[in-house]
Amino acid sequence: MSASDLAITPPATRQVVVETLREEASVWLFVVKTLIAFFLTGWLAMRFALPAPSTAMLTTVIVANRQSGMVLAKSFYRAIGTLAGATAAIAIVASFPQQRDLFLVALSLWIGLCAGGATLYRNFKSYAFVLGGYTAAIVAIPVIDNPPGVFDSSWARISEVLLGLAVSGVVNDVVFPSRMRDVLRRAAREQFSHFVAFVRDSTRGRMARETMENAHLRFVRDAVTFEDLRSSVIFEDAEARARSGHLRLFNQRFMAASTSFQSLHHLINRLKRAHRDLAADTLVRLYAPIGAALDAPIDAGVVARELLPRLATARESLRAQRSPLRASLTDTQDIRDFDTGASLLLRFVDELYAYVDAAASLQAPRVIAASGERVRFDRGNDFLGAGLATLRTTLTMLALGAFWICSAWPLGSSAMLLATVFAGLFATIPNPTRVTWMVMLGYLSGMAAAFVCEFFVLTQVDGYPLLVIGIAPFLAIGLVMMMSKRLASYGLGWAMGLAYILALKNVQVYDPAHFINDAIAQVVGLGAAAVSFVVIPPAIGSAWLRRRQLARLRGQVALAAEAPLPGLRHRFESVNHDLVSQVVAQTEPGSADSRALIAWALAVHETGRALIELRHDMARADLPTTLRPYLTEALRTLARFYEKPDAPGYLLARDAVATAIASVGEHEGVRHLLDHLHLVRMALLDGESVLAAYMPNAPLAKEIVHAS
């Protein structure tokens, strides 16, 4: 080992030790805060003489999270789900007070609908649906033989849940809070600095396709992660709520600029591959001022405000250089390629300026009045997959309900309650069968620990302080495992099993026979949920759903070609990014499915945005009557080809675009439409894109690459 190695080793070791200690401190801080919330909630519930303090205490375990904002967001949606579930329970009991069969059918259908609704969201809104079903069950099932008691039951459950939420929120906001706003700010800085640096470093021109694919995945993850963080941070931070509109605008402008950036580099790459080096190099020269404008330290602080005047100067330089550079070209094809690229480059620099301007407004110390532009992040939901989750959960509840009625099982309600929780909770994850079984094993372990705790520890103590000392070590084991990636599901099952089976009350009853029977019922409910995922596999993570999502992604071109124009840019970008993020999360990195998705995503982003810009220019232009049918036909055939790609559809789309280009060329006043049409044509003829599979092998495909 050299002297230099010895000099480097200690700092590296110290860094590892510091990071390890920081992570351990974070884990134990989470455990301590959760234990405080758990036992403080139990003490208050007993002081208020609530019927089931254990329900309030279990709530604190379910909403536990390291980040204060996550706890508050989860609590907010749990409160909504609880109120909705209690209302549904009252309605179901009122509708079928003396008809047990119809009561269970209605309840099962409601729980199924809630499970289906949970699959339509990727954040804590999903949790509100799960709680809507679960709360209806815990309110309605205990009063199945006493319908008038539904009001007392619903009020008790609402009081218990809201108490647990309130205590969790206060504890996490007061005891060494870990703020989500810091995570959001860091995400915004990283998104901004990475994208600006990437643009600056790419001004040399050609970019490898693999580099572009990796960049696209990074852009997708950044956009979706940022929106998920924003939707949670607004619950903990008043400034984040005030800036929520700016945050959305910042993210939407990032998506728009990144799409134009990718289209620009695809164009330059195509020109290089087609040996149109003069046109490509001229575009790179036109592109150079952007790199010079961004040649500044990209980090936190006032960098965005400093970049704005530099980008404005670069934009003016681009416009001034465009004509001289164009005049340096003599070949008609080079001029046409240059015009297409220059138009795209100017669009990109406008969007980049708007993105940097949005970043500057976020960095301002005071909240700036929002612009008139209103945006939202639309999601790419699959309602057929949600229907599958609804069917599976409904059938599971009906099967358990029928068994309960036929067997007259006294504890059948416990089985239904547990099945309700886990059938809804795990309907939203890619591999619910494995996770459910892991949770089930953890649940069994938690119940075994609870048996030891209740009958060998709690029977020996008196008073609430000693009860805390007796239970805390058992619960802490599950909470620590929840913070481990490998044991998180097992730890969740342990903590929930322990808290649920202990069923702490104001006057605790120690009945081993009831404990064991209740444990069996809960295991049956968990097992029923696990079996339901085997009998009716979930759509999430399946090849079937990936095919549907890929078809939905391709269908975004039809959206771009045919949907109403107001708000279309924002809708197109956000749904594209959400769909790609879903499929990427459900496919193995580097697999054939993953690469096919990325290839289609790049093609859809480029073509879709070109069609949207074409339609906007068509709406602003005074189109000749004879020209509109050709443009409309090009839009229609492209939409149909992307919806159902095949070789005949490809030929129709290619020829329709070529015809539209020829028709536009005959009219002087609308020549600017050619830039968008040429970009679409070059994407169609890209031999390295995903569309190459549909191209004929005839020489015509090469001959018309630059034909007008």
**129 and 262 belong to one structural domain:** no
**Chain-centre distance for alpha carbon 395:** 28
Specify whether the backbone of 381 is left (phi greater than 0), alpha (psi in -120 to 50) or beta.
Answer: beta
Among 328, 363, 398, which residue terminates a domain?
A: 363
Q: How far apart are CA 117 and CA 23, in angstroms?
A: 35
State residue 642's pLDDT score: 92
Task: Tell me if 298 sits within 8 A of 197, measured CB to CB.
Answer: yes
State residue 269's pLDDT score: 83
**494 and 570 belong to one structural domain:** no
**223 and 204 belong to one structural domain:** yes
**89 and 149 belong to one structural domain:** yes
Residue 225 lies in a domain: yes
Among 535, 557, 585, which residue terminates a domain?
A: 535
Residue 124 lies in a domain: yes
Domain span at 297: 180-235+244-363
Task: Tell me if 679 sits within 8 A of 638, measured CB to CB.
Answer: no
Q: How far apart are CA 513 and CA 493, in angstroms?
A: 22
Residue 386 lies in a domain: yes
Q: How far apart are CA 434 and CA 454, in angstroms?
A: 30
State residue 301's pLDDT score: 46
Residue 708 lies in a domain: no
pLDDT tens, residue by residue, 391-427 = 888 888 888 888 888 888 888 888 888 888 777 777 6
Reduced to 3 states (helix: H, G, I; strand: E, B; else coil), residue 705 is coil
Among 507, 535, 563, which residue terminates a domain?
A: 535
**210 and 310 belong to one structural domain:** yes
Residue 4 lies in a domain: no
Quickly tell me which residue has 């004929």 as its tokens.
696
Residue 698 lies in a domain: yes
Question: Which of 184, 100, 211 has its CA nearest to residue 146?
Answer: 100
**133 and 184 belong to one structural domain:** no
**196 and 295 belong to one structural domain:** yes
**226 and 112 belong to one structural domain:** no
Number of domains in the chain: 3
Task: Tell me if 573 sits within 8 A of 258, measured CB to CB.
Answer: no
**531 and 555 belong to one structural domain:** no
Task: Tell me if 322 sits within 8 A of 217, measured CB to CB.
Answer: no
Q: What's 296's domain CATH number?
A: 1.20.58
Residue 6 lies in a domain: no
**Chain-centre distance for alpha carbon 461:** 47
Q: Note the pTM of the prediction, 2 decimals.
A: 0.75
**185 and 141 belong to one structural domain:** no
**60 and 150 belong to one structural domain:** yes
**486 and 561 belong to one structural domain:** no
Question: Which of 588, 603, 589, 414 has its CA nearest to residue 518?
Answer: 414
State residue 708's pLDDT score: 30
- pLDDT below 50 — which residues of the chain? 1-10, 300-302, 698-708
Residue 415 lies in a domain: yes
